[in-house]
Amino acid sequence: MYRRAFRLQLRRPDAVQSEVDNEIALHLELRIAQLMETGLSRGEAARIAQERFGPIDDARELLGSLATTRETHMALTERVDALRQDLAHSMRQIRRSPGFAAAVIATLGLGIGANATMFGAIDQLLLRPPAHVADPARVVTASMLRKTSPGPQLVLSFAIYHDLRQTPAAFETVGLFRGASMDVGSGVETKSVSAALVSADFFRALGTRPALGRFFSETEAGDAPAEPVAVVGYDYWQRELNGDAGVIGRQLVVAGRPHQIIGVAPRDFRGLGLSPIDIFAPVTDGMSAQVIAGLMRQRQTFAYIIVARLKPGVSTRSAEEEATAAVISGYRQGGATEKQVAAMSPRIALTSALPRDARRGQPESRVSILLGTVSLFVLLLACANVVNLQLARAVRRRREIAVRVALGVSRSRLMRQLLLDSVVLAVAGGALGVLIARFGGAFVARALLGASVAQIPATDPRILAFTAFATIAAGLVTGLLPSREVLRSDLATSLKEGAKGSASRETRRLRFTLLVAQSALATVLLVGTGIFVLSLRRIEAVPLGFTPDRAAVARPNFSGRRSAELPVDDATRRAQIIAQFERLRQAALETPGVSHAALALTAPFEGSYAVGFRLPGRDSVPVTRDGGPYYNAVSGDYFEAIGARIVQGRAFTESDQAAGSRVAIVNETAARLWWPGESAIGKCIELDDNSPRCSEVVGVVQNTHRAQIVEDEFVQLIVPLAQAAPLAPGVVLFSVNGSTERVVAEAHRRMQAAEPGFPYINVRPLDALVAPRLRSWRLGATMFTVFGALAVVLAAIGLYSVLAYDVAERRLELGVRSALGAATNQLALLVIGRGVRAVVTGAALGLVIAVALGPRVTALLFRTSPRDPLVFATVAMVLIVVAVAATLVPAVRAARVDPMEALRGAP
Amino acid sequence: MADRSPVTKGTLDVIVLRALAWGPMHGFEIVEWIDRTTNESLDLTDAAVYQALYRMERRGLLRAEWGTTGNNRQARYYKLTAAGSAHLRDETKRWVNYANTVTDLLTAPIKPQR
């Protein structure tokens, strides 16, 4: 017991050594005394004693070091012991009140889970640097701004890539790539996988090293096409090639041609994006030297993302200046006049590959940050709730604490114990939170970023670290206030009053404040829910000009190349393609549930084409800010197939053939802009194609959206496919009645069977093209609803528990009042009044906060005011109803207090 | 004294634990007990016994406390812990089994091979 009093005190090493010395000295002394008793002289006895003991200096040293390690060991053991005892005590506390523990764990679990979920999304979107990209701050992507076009050009052309390579002072390496889908395998085994077409210096610009083998050489991905080669992604290698290290050198059929696998990309490498890439192929893959030579000179074919690595120490701005100068001189060399260059005044802008720069301002980023903030609110609310529960319980525990203080347990020890109690609960909550984040994270990632995005498990070290931090913080926050409260109480009074004791005035005020804060937070979140749901409803109701839920699009893949719609100068080849498409159209049309099917160059949300044109007799023609006119070439049933309405005139018919008179259909905006106040029917348009002849406008179609749900008006021109030579169709469109999934699957089967020559036909409901545009809106509304509901439930539980404890605590007072003749409904009102007062105060505060925060979310809303009065009113009502409901049970209990029992002090 | 047996480390530990089975003792008392009980037939320095004590104290088989001897001297008294008692029991059983087996083997009558 001697050591116990000094527990945790590590003795100094010299003190330990002197203990050893004392022990040896005593031993020798006793031995000498014993020997001298047998008649030996002192000197002789000392000699024998030392001999029997062994070398003394060695022993001193050895025993000293053993003793030192023993001391360290024991100090540690005692610490662990103390912690174990405290933990055991905490566990006993939990077992003693399982209901309370469950409430705290569930509350914190939900709060922590919500945060871990949102942290995962934010981390993936905005924090985590792209994997396997060396020094990503120096990696930039280029975009071009021109005065002649409204927005920045994010995809650029080969010629610009070559310009940027002529900037030795700015960039170490310049690479380019393009995302694509490619067919791998042959025959029925063919699968469409995500691919990246890259230049040889793409990997060098990113500083990525292969997991196996090597990446492309300049000749393999450059001007001189060599033997076809490919690099496979790590996941693909594991999944489809069994992670076999012997794949290097093996053949893989990509886009219909055998490719030699030369390398495996490192695990989780996704370029600069979030989606896994299965196959990397040279950007010139499958092209003839002639095609490549032409492509290299292309200045206006914008299809490639240019990535570059800045030289060390070069600022983005000076690199931008140099790149801009290079591009301008490139335009001049390409034959542009000074006037044209001045009109465009092209400028190159560079964005770092760090996600916080690269994805700044994107709707996904903004929504995830907003929801992250909201989840933090939820955690705060959960903590407030737990503090309230703890405070209520602290009143009950005061007697126990007082007894322990009286027994001599130090206050710091008690404080530690109480904090540990709440940390233990928080850790259990954190574990629950990880579980929630596991499912929630998968849901959010899918809802926010789409199914193609790589999943990051909730057990990812970064997410776990965040969760652990949130857990400990929650544990300390929820433990600190209540334990201070408990320890402040006066010992003698506590012992006397015991468990009956009522909360101090300050405790009560604190609890009331917490209730108000909770209601305020819940109000803010509910307002958020309201306006985001309203905004989603409104954006979903935007008429797109066609019926995405009752139409589908099929896009056949021509041996890996995505489209056939590029000019096909060979008339026979064109006729062949049209015949193939016609057979696909027939197959679709014969599918039960399909009433219309048509061919088209492109479909809404599938990409658009622009065309030049003139109106006879006019110098200039008004177009919209968005550019255009956008162009499509379609067969007869197109408008019925996608559900677009002809508002004036007629649709195309079978008689609109190549030989017939040329006709066109314009959209409402074009009709209004070009012939204001007159009918467009019968007017003449001269298209900039091979033979500038008059195309007569025969119909006006309602405006259909081109690529976005929220987009500017634009002008559109549609011609019969038969008159659009040399363009060939790119898609088959068909209407769908009944179960979309079944009809689409059946149509897909029939089309694939009708045209086995196409390795792969991609058939999707038009909805699937539109849905990604709704993702961030839908996620915002969904998560706000989840968080809002959570907030209200938490606030209601908080209110209920506080009032319930209140009533239990004030039994005496209520009993006295009852005995003095207070009516039972008066007593109930007393309780309800207190609850409702807290909620009303909180709600008012919350509405004020919501008004103040409103402008911050305006950008995320669609035609919805963040201060929508209807939403505000509804929220206020919901809160009051919830408040009354939550106070009802405690109020009834208060009304039923039996004065006799209460006054007698019976439980 | 001429014919002393060497002592292995593990055996010494058990012997020391056995000494303490009688109750707390200080180092000199333990050494004396061993000498007395074995008629000084073990080849052992006194320091070795202290090493054994320190080692076992670290392992938690013993606990030491300062106390006062009959002559009013401060001495470090060693005492078995619960873990020490258990260790002594187990080791004793093991040792006895082992010794019996070897003894049986060595003293069994020699039979002709069939």
- Chain B residues whose beta carbon lies within 8 Å of the beta carbon of residue A24: 50
Look up residue A345 and give its amino acid: S
Specify if A263 maps to a domain: yes
Instruction: Give percent of chain B above pLDDT 90.
Output: 52
Tell me how many domains chain B contains.
Answer: 1
Structure tokens at A90: 């905490």
Residue with tokens 């109803």: A881
Are residues A38 and A159 both part of a single domain? no
CB contact under 8 A, A70 and B54: yes
Are residues A741 and A828 both part of a single domain? no
Q: Does A896 touch chain B (CB under 8 A)?
A: no
The residue of chain B nearest to residue A61, with distances taken between CA atoms, is B51
Q: What is the pLDDT of residue A894?
A: 80
**Cα of A59 to nearest chain B Cα, Å:** 6
The residue of chain A nearest to residue B62, with distances taken between CA atoms, is A70
Closest residue to B45, CB basis, from A19, A52, A67? A52
Euclidean distance between CA atoms A259 and A229, whole angstroms: 5
Q: Give, as one character, the DSSP assignment of residue A815.
A: H
Closest residue to B51, CB basis, from A3, A31, A63? A63
Q: Are A381 and A526 in contact (CB under 8 A)?
A: no
Query: A460-488 b/e with 16+ CB inside 10 Å = b?
Result: beebbebbeebbeebbebbbbbbbebbbe
- Chain B residues whose beta carbon lies within 8 Å of the beta carbon of residue A23: 27, 50, 75-76
- Please, what is the Cα angle at B108 between B104 and B112, to 5 degrees? 150
- Cβ pairs A/B, distance under 8 A: 57
Are residues A440 and A490 both part of a single domain? yes
Residue A288's CB is within 10 A of a number of other CB atoms, namely: 10
Give the 3-state secondary structure percentages of chain B, helix then strand then coil, rounded to 5.
Answer: 55, 20, 25
Structure tokens at A69: 């390690």
Specify if A117 maps to a domain: no
CB contact under 8 A, A63 and B54: yes
Specify if A81 maps to a domain: yes
The span from the first CA to the last CA of chain A, in angstroms, equals: 41
Q: Does the pTM of the predicted model rise above 0.80? A: no
Specify if B86 maps to a domain: yes
A361 Rama sector, left if φ>0, alpha if ψ -120 to 50, beta otherwise:
left
CB contact under 8 A, A26 and B31: no
Q: Does A30 touch chain B (CB under 8 A)?
A: yes
Residue A597's CB is within 10 A of a number of other CB atoms, namely: 27
Closest CA to A560 of A338, A259, A839: A259
Q: Does A99 touch chain B (CB under 8 A)?
A: no
Euclidean distance between CA atoms B61 and B19, whole angstroms: 13
Closest residue to B47, CB basis, from A30, A53, A77? A53
Q: Are A529 and A782 in contact (CB under 8 A)?
A: no
* Packing angle of the helix pair A766-809, A811-819 (nearest 10 deg): 60
Specify if B113 maps to a domain: no
Closest CA to A738 of A592, A554, A541, A552: A592
CB contact under 8 A, B50 and A23: yes
Are residues A646 and A750 both part of a single domain? yes
Interface test with A, best of B12, B51, B54, B62 (most A CBs within 10 A): B54
Euclidean distance between CA atoms A60 and A69, whole angstroms: 14
CB contact under 8 A, A27 and B27: yes
The residue of chain B nearest to residue A62, with distances taken between CA atoms, is B51
Q: What is the pLDDT of residue A389?
A: 82
The residue of chain B nearest to residue A73, with distances taken between CA atoms, is B58
Which residue positions in chain A have pLDDT lower than 50?
A: 1-9, 499, 559-565, 906-907
Residue B55 structural domain: 5-106
- Chain B residues whose beta carbon lies within 8 Å of the beta carbon of residue A54: 45-48
- Chain B residues whose beta carbon lies within 8 Å of the beta carbon of residue A33: none
Q: What is the pLDDT of residue A5?
A: 38
The residue of chain B nearest to residue A4, with distances taken between CA atoms, is B65
Closest residue to B51, CB basis, from A27, A62, A70? A62
Label residue A189 exposed, middle or buried (CB < 10 Å: 0-12, 13-18, 19+): exposed
Q: Which of A353, A380, A400 is the last residue of a domain?
A: A353
Q: What is the CA radius of gyration of chain A?
A: 39
- Chain B residues whose beta carbon lies within 8 Å of the beta carbon of residue A19: 76
The residue of chain A nearest to residue B44, with distances taken between CA atoms, is A52
**Torsion angle defined by CA atoms of residues A541, A545, A548 and A553, in that order, rounded to the nearest 10 degrees:** -160
Q: Which of A758, A793, A822 is the last residue of a domain?
A: A758
Q: What is the pLDDT of residue A558?
A: 59
Structure tokens at B25: 């003792």
CB contact under 8 A, A2 and B65: yes
Specify if A176 maps to a domain: yes
Tell me how many domains chain A contains.
Answer: 4
Residue A796 structural domain: 363-541+773-904
* Phi, psi values for residue A162, rounded to 5°: -65, -40
Euclidean distance between CA atoms A53 and B31, whole angstroms: 10
Closest residue to B58, CB basis, from A27, A56, A69? A69
Closest CA to A581 of A559, A546, A557: A557
Euclidean distance between CA atoms A697 and A717, whole angstroms: 9
* Packing angle of the helix pair B82-107, B9-20 (nearest 10 deg): 120
Which residues, other chains included, contact A339 with Cβ-Cβ below 8 Å and sequence gap of 6+?
A: none
Do you find a cis peptide bond into A772, omega within 30 degrees of 0? no
Closest CA to A665 of A633, A693, A643: A633
* Phi, psi values for residue A649, rounded to 5°: 75, -145
CB contact under 8 A, B76 and A63: no
Are residues A251 and A214 both part of a single domain? yes
- Chain B residues whose beta carbon lies within 8 Å of the beta carbon of residue A62: 47, 51
Structure tokens at A150: 């409204």
CB contact under 8 A, A59 and B74: no
Are residues A792 and A871 both part of a single domain? yes
Euclidean distance between CA atoms A616 and A458, whole angstroms: 64
Specify if B114 maps to a domain: no
Structure tokens at A577: 């393609």
Specify if A551 maps to a domain: no
Specify if B28 maps to a domain: yes
Label residue A242 exposed, middle or buried (CB < 10 Å: 0-12, 13-18, 19+): exposed
- Please, what is the Cα angle at A762 between A758 and A763, to 5 degrees? 120
- Chain A residues whose beta carbon lies within 8 Å of the beta carbon of residue B55: 66
Give me the CATH number covering residue B84.
1.10.10.10
- Chain A residues whose beta carbon lies within 8 Å of the beta carbon of residue B60: 77
* Phi, psi values for residue A422, rounded to 5°: -80, -30
DSSP H or E stretch at residue A628: none
ipTM (interface pTM): 0.89
Euclidean distance between CA atoms A430 and A418, whole angstroms: 18
**Cα of A71 to nearest chain B Cα, Å:** 8
Euclidean distance between CA atoms B61 and B65, whole angstroms: 14
- Chain A residues whose beta carbon lies within 8 Å of the beta carbon of residue B83: none
CB contact under 8 A, B58 and A73: yes
